[in-house]
Structure 1
C-alpha cells in the first residue's frame, strides 16, 4: 500500500488505481518502511507501488541512509526500468562500492599536518601561528624558476587554441559547443599529430628506453613522451570557487579523472579533507561564520597547507593540481595567487547553480555521504546545520572577476546552462574548457560489452574482421533481449558499435534504438601482426614479442597502434559519452573497452592493458552525482 500526498490533498494508490493529479514533490510511506520524498511527474510513465518499493530497497542495499531519499525524475525512470529477470544475470563487480568523492582526493603529506607552510605570515594572528610548528615567510622565486615555469614554446600552427584574451568573458552554451562527431554521424578515425608541437625533445632521446630495439619500440617511446611527459612547460592549478552544494568536488573529481586518463600527471587536493584532519569533523555552522575571525584563520591555515602540498608536488614533477575548496572571498583567492606566483599558472573554476531542486539534492547527498555528519544521528539536525553553514558562506561570497577564470553556470540544465571563459589560452586550458562544456550531472547508465565470440577468438588470432562463432550468435540474441528489458522505457537510448563486422553482428538483433558506427571504436590496430597468433609473433618476430611483453601500454605494433594511440583516438568518444543525457550501449573490443573502463573507474594508465574484460559480459556504469557505480551481468 502506498500513500502519496501534496500540500492540498492525500491520494490513496494501489496497483489498480491511477494518479489523476499532477504532483511535483510527493512524500509517501511504503508499509512497513520509512517515509520517502520523491520528485515525480505524474504526466510521465505510471509508477506502481511495487516499483517504488523495489526502488527503495535498491537504494537501501547500496548504503543510502533510510531517513530520506530524494531523486529527480530522470533517476526514477532509470531505476523503474530495471526488471527482476535482468537482475538475475548480475555477478559480483570489482568496483561495486561507491566512495565519497572527497575521500578519493590526495592525502596530506603529514596526517597531523602540524608543519611549515609557505604562506604570508600577516594572514594569521599570533594565536593561530602557535598551532603550527613554524610558519615561514613567503619568498617569491627568482628568474630561474620563472624561466623553468614560463609559457610554452611557440606552438605548431595546426594546434587548436581558443582565441581568448583579457577583457570581456566569452559565454559558451553547451548546445553550441558540441562535438563535430555528433550522435547522428559516424566519426572518422582520429589521428595523432595535432599536438606534436608540445613534444619537447627529439627521437634521439628514445635511446634511453629499456625496451629492445624493435620496430614498434621507438615509436612507442615518442608517444609515451608526448602523453606522459609535460605537454606545457608551465604547471597548472585549477582552483575551484563556489558555495557549498554546488558540485565543486564532483567537478574536480571528474576533471582529475579525465586529465589522468589523457596522461597528464594530475592530483585532486580537497581542503575539506585537510580541515577534518586538522580540526576534526565536529565543527558546527558557527565555525563558518564570516564574523568568526578564529574560524576564518583556521580555514585559511588548512587552505594554505593544502596549497603548499600541491606546489611541493609540482616541484617534484606534477603537472596539474585541482584545488578543491569554496575559495569564496577575494582575500582567500589573493592568498592563493600570491603563493602560486612564479610557480604555476592559476585558473579559477567557479561553479554557480541557481536551481533550488539541484541544490536541495546536493545538500541531501552531502549530509548522507560527508564525514562532517557521519556521527550525527539526527538527519534533520544535520540538515539545519548545513543550511546554516550555507547561509554563512553566502553572506561573505564574492564572485570571481579577477585573473583567468571559467564560470560554469547552471550546467545541470540541458537548455539554460552556460559557460563564461575569461583570459584562457593554451593547449591544455583549451582542452579543459572543451571537456567541461560537455559535462553535466544527469544520471544515466552506460553499458559496455565486447562483441560475441568470433572465429578469431576460437583460433587465438588478433585483429582482423572475422564473423561471429555459433556461441557469438547466441550471445547476440541474448544481448538484444537484455537490452530490450533493461532499456525498454529509454526510447532515447542509443547503440554504439565499431565499424568491424563482429560488433555490428553482435548488435544486429537490438531493435528500436538508433545505432551509430564509430571508427574510433575499432580494435587496436595490430599492423603487420594482424591476423597472427601470439605464438606466431613470438616465433617470427621475437623482438616485437619481447617489447610488447615488457611494456604493453607503450608498445606499438609495427605499422599499427599502441594503447596510448588508442586513448588518443578515444577522447572524442569519452567527451560524447559525457555529453549524452540518455543511456548508451557500447559494443566494442577488448583494448577499446579496457581504455573506456579505465576512464570511468580512474585506473592508472599502466593498468589498462591488464584489465580483465571477459566475453559475453555486460558492464553497467551508472553515472551521476554520487559518483560512478558499477554492475556486471554475465549472459553466457
Structure 2
C-alpha cells in the first residue's frame, strides 16, 4: 500500500483481503501501525504528531524497524507458510521507503514474487475531512478531545506530505506494476498489471463505492420439497412459505422507511466542519439536495430462476421495487442426486455420501450439471462485484448454498466454515457496508405474529447436521 494517512488504505486492504480469501487465495494483511503501537516496541513513547517528524531520530529508527519487521513477517507468510497474497498496510509514501522495500523483497524472494503497489489518494476535500474524523475513534486518538486530536492528526499528515512522492514516474521508468485509486474508486489508474491475482485485484478495485445502503439476504420460504426432505428440484412454496413471502414484503417495506428516517437524523447531527454533539462524519457520497432532502434510493429484489425463490418475492410491488431473476442465484445442482433425500443418498450412494461428508467444500455432485461449493463461489463472483458497485438497496432471495457463500464473503469467514454455516429457512440477514467494515444484523421470522425480530449478538455458527 502507498498513501498519506486517512486516505482509506486500511479500508481498501480489508475489502481486498476479504475478496481474495473468499476466492480461496490465502491472504493476510500486515499492518505496520499495529506493530508500532505494541507496548514492547514503543516503550511508552509519545505517538503524537512529533513521533512522525523526520528530525525525531529515535522515532524514525523505531518506525523503520517496525516497517522492516512487518515486511519480514509478510515474506515469511508467503515464502515459508501457505500464503498466496500478503498486503503491507503502511504509508510507504516516500520513494526511498519503496526502494528499501523492493530491495528486501528481492533479497529474500528473488524475482519470482510479483509485487503490486496500490496507492490511495483523496482529492475530494469533503471525503478527506470525513476520513480524518473517522481516525479520531482509532487507537491513536481514542478517548482524546476530538478537536485537539483532529488538530494533531492534521499536523501528522502535514509532516508526511513534505516528503510524499506519489506513484508514477519512477515506477513507469522501471516497469513496476501499480494501481492508483483516487477518491476510493472515483478514478482508477492501472499500470502494467501482470499475473492472475493482480488482475483479480484490479477488477475488484474498479467496482468500489462508499454509498450507504442495505444488502438483505434470505432463503426462500418453505417449499413442498423442504417438507418432504428432498434436495434440489423446482417445487412450489408450501402454505407456510407463502405466509413467509407476505411477511417478508411487509417487513422490508418497514425497514426501508426506518432506514430513510435514520439517514435524515444523521444529516441533522453531522456537519462540515464538525460541531459539538456530532455523532458521525457525513458521507460525501450521499448528500442532500437544495431542499435539504436526501435522495430516494432504489431497492432491487433479486431471485434465482427457481419457483420457490421467485414465489417468495412475488408480493413486492413492481412500481416500488426493481425485481430481477438470475440463474447465478440458483441452488447448488445435485447432479444425479437431485430430488433425493439425504437418507436415500446414504443408502443408494454410500461412497459419494462419505466423500461429501469428509470434505463438503471441495466435493462436487456427480452427473450432468452436478456442482460443488467452489462452483457456487465462482458463479457468484459477478454478483459480489455488482453488489459492491451498486449504490441501491438490494434483497437477495436465494437458497442454502447461495446464502452460505454470500454471508461468508460479507462476514470474512474462513474457507472451512463456508459449507457448514447454519442458515435455516426463516432467517433474514442485513448487511450495511461502512467505511470501517460491514454492520451485520440477523432477524428471525415468527410464524405466529407474522413478523421478523432482531436476534441480539447473533453469530453465524456451524449447522448441527453437517450433511445438509
SS at match of 2:431: strand
Question: What is residue 25 of structure 2 aligned with on the other side?
Answer: 264
Residue 410 of structure 1, CA deviation: 1.8
TM-score under structure 2 length normalisation: 0.81
Of the candidates 99, 107, 121, which is equivalent to residue 334 of structure 1?
A: 99
Question: What is residue 590 of structure 1 aligned with on the other side?
Answer: 400
Point out where structure 2 has 5 or more consecutive residues left out of the alignment.
261-295, 447-468
Change (3 A) 1:242 1:491: closer
Find the aligned partners of 1:506 and 1:497 in 2 and give their Cα distance: 9
Of the candidates 239, 253, 272, which is equivalent to residue 484 of structure 1?
A: 253
Q: Deviations over 1:417-465 (max 9, x none)?
A: 2111112122221111110000122221100011000011111110000
Matched ranges for 1:197-596 at <5 A:
240-277=1-38, 278-279=41-42, 282-316=46-80, 317-341=82-106, 342=110, 344-368=113-137, 370-374=138-142, 376-401=143-168, 402=171, 403-411=176-184, 417-488=186-257, 490-511=296-317, 512-559=320-367, 560-596=370-406
Worse-matched range after superposition: 357-366 or 544-553: 357-366
SS at match of 1:453: coil
Residue 281 of structure 1, CA deviation: 7.4
Matched ranges for 1:98-113 at <5 A:
none
Worse-matched range after superposition: 433-442 or 595-604: 433-442
Query: Contact conserved, 2:8 with 2:184, CA < 8 A, in 1?
Result: no
- Let me know the Cα RMSD of the aligned residues: 1.3
Find the aligned partners of 1:579 and 1:437 in 2 and give their Cα distance: 8
Larger Rg: 1
Query: Contact conserved, 1:444 with 1:581, CA < 8 A, in 2?
Result: yes
Find the aligned partners of 2:314 and 2:338 in 1 and give their Cα distance: 25
Residue 293 of structure 1, CA deviation: 3.4
Residue 296 of structure 1, CA deviation: 2.5
Find the aligned partners of 1:275 and 1:493 in 2 and give their Cα distance: 44
Query: Contact conserved, 2:124 with 2:183, CA < 8 A, in 1?
Result: yes
SS at match of 1:585: strand
Q: Deviations over 1:141-179 (max 9, x none)?
A: xxxxxxxxxxxxxxxxxxxxxxxxxxxxxxxxxxxxxxx
Point out where structure 1 has 5 or more consecutive residues left out of the alignment.
1-239
Find the aligned partners of 2:127 and 2:348 in 1 and give their Cα distance: 60
Aligned residues: 391
Q: Deviations over 1:238-278 (max 9, x none)?
A: xx001111100000010000000001011111110111112
Query: Contact conserved, 1:281 with 1:373, CA < 8 A, in 2?
Result: no
